[in-house]
């Protein structure tokens, strides 16, 4: 019965209908579209990392905005059909080999890191939240390691245990941090997106 209710709601969802009409792979494309309209994240010619990309809604929208001079490297443990202008790496981003493959494919300049990564839901709330926050922390560490000074990162998180600490860490790392809940995100979902812009320089401690 629960699955039937989900299916009924899914196919009645206006964003699902809009995605079908406009040729997007998922309703998630509109989450990025709405945030981008507000914050102007995606600029022609940018280099973007898309973490947790399948089935490709974020990458598809971003590729349309970037134009031919831009580049996207997308990664997911699940397969994803090819998209023009998108390099896709299938693998587990928490695996060091996959992590390094993505880093290598991006090159020396990364302007935007987007993470829509989420764990497979087990139904055990504490465990699911911990795994979700773990993925968000990995995405943040990756962004810090590769972004340009004026780069940005957008990370999906679920409000709950660990959220205040991640928010505080992002505020330490970026000059500006904002919370975004785009209209395309279902109201009952605890998901929000943390947007960090203006990477702070790393300050080294005094030499001994």
pLDDT at 10: 57
Mean of all residue pLDDT scores within the chain: 90
56 is in an annotated binding site: yes
1 pLDDT tier (thresholds 50, 70, 90): very low
How much is the average pLDDT of 163-188? 94
76 is in an annotated binding site: yes
Task: Compute the chain's Rg from CA coordinates.
Answer: 17
Strand partners, 51: 75, 115
CATH superfamily for 28-86+97-199 is: Vaccinia Virus protein VP39 (3.40.50.150)
186 pLDDT tier (thresholds 50, 70, 90): confident
pLDDT over 90 (residue 92)? yes
pLDDT at 6: 45
pLDDT over 90 (residue 203)? no
Domain edges within the chain: 28-86+97-199
pLDDT tens per residue across span 4-25: 554 545 557 898 999 999 999 9
How much is the average pLDDT of 152-172? 95
pLDDT at 11: 58
Residues annotated catalytic, as ranges: 156
Count CB-CB contacts under 10 A for residue 10.
11
pLDDT over 70 (residue 69)? yes
pLDDT at 201: 80
116 is in an annotated binding site: yes
Contact call for residues 84 and 65 (beta carbons, < 8 A): no
Please give the Cα distance from 107 to 91 (Å, whole number). Answer: 19
Please give the Cα distance from 181 to 184 (Å, whole number). Answer: 8
Q: Six-digit token pair at 105?
A: 């494919």
């Amino acid at each position: 019965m629960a699955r039937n209710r989900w299916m009924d709601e899914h196919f009645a969802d206006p964003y699902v209908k809009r995605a079908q009409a406009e040729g997007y792979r998922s309703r998630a494309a509109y989450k990025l579209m709405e945030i981008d309209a507000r914050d102007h994240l995606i600029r022609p010619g940018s280099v973007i990392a898309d973490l947790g990309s399948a089935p490709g809604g974020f990458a598809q929208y971003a590729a349309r905005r970037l134009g031919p001079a831009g580049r996207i490297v997308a990664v997911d443990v699940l397969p994803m059909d090819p998209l023009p202008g998108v390099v896709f790496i299938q693998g587990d981003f928490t695996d060091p080999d996959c992590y390094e493959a993505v880093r290598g494919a991006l090159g020396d300049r990364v302007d935007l890191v987007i993470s829509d990564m989420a764990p497979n839901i087990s139904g055990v709330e504490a465990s699911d939240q911990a795994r979700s926050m773990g993925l968000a922390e990995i995405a943040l560490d990756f962004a810090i390691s590769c972004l340009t000074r004026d780069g940005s990162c957008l990370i999906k998180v679920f409000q709950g245990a660990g959220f205040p600490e991640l928010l505080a860490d992002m505020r330490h790392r970026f000059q500006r941090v904002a919370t975004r809940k785009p209209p395309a995100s279902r109201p009952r979902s605890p998901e929000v997106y943390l947007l960090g812009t203006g990477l702070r320089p790393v300050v080294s401690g005094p030499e001994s």
